[in-house]
């Protein structure tokens, strides 16, 4: 790989970026639940969105370029499947580390069907 491109895998390159966020929330009627959040560079969010577009994945391709997007509970497991696919085909250590953390957050862990929702917010 040419040296001028290798910095794409260096987390410090993105340290000044605005942050995007993934927030998994439970319907407030279910009681007090600690939200699960993940912050990532805006450019990494765009990288993931473009992969979703390139591989024709309906949920990842909906990641916002700006603003917010909400995934209802019934889309969280299929979104996790799309993330697992990207983890199998991409050799990008920075992106795969972020996706591994997102996969951990999205694991069912006894989720009840009480209205979980994933909010993705881009700057």
The one-digit pLDDT tens for each residue of the chain (123 residues) are: 567 787 778 778 888 899 999 988 876 655 555 567 899 999 999 999 999 999 999 999 999 999 999 998 889 989 999 999 999 999 999 999 999 999 988 886 555 666 778 889 998
Bridge partner residues of 24 (DSSP): 36, 118
**Does residue 60 contact residue 86 with C-beta atoms inside 8 Å?**
yes
């Amino acid at each position: 790989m040419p040296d001028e491109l290798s910095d794409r895998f260096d987390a410090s390159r993105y340290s000044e970026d605005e942050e995007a966020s993934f927030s998994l929330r439970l319907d407030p009627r279910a009681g007090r639940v600690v939200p699960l959040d993940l912050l990532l560079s805006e450019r990494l969010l765009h990288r993931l969105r473009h992969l979703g577009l390139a591989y024709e994945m309906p949920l990842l391709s909906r990641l916002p370029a700006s603003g917010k997007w909400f995934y209802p509970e019934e889309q969280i497991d299929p979104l996790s499947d799309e993330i697992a696919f990207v983890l199998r085909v991409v050799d990008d250590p920075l992106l795969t580390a972020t996706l591994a953390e997102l996969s951990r957050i999205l694991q069912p862990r006894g989720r009840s069907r009480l209205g979980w929702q994933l909010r993705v917010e881009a700057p």
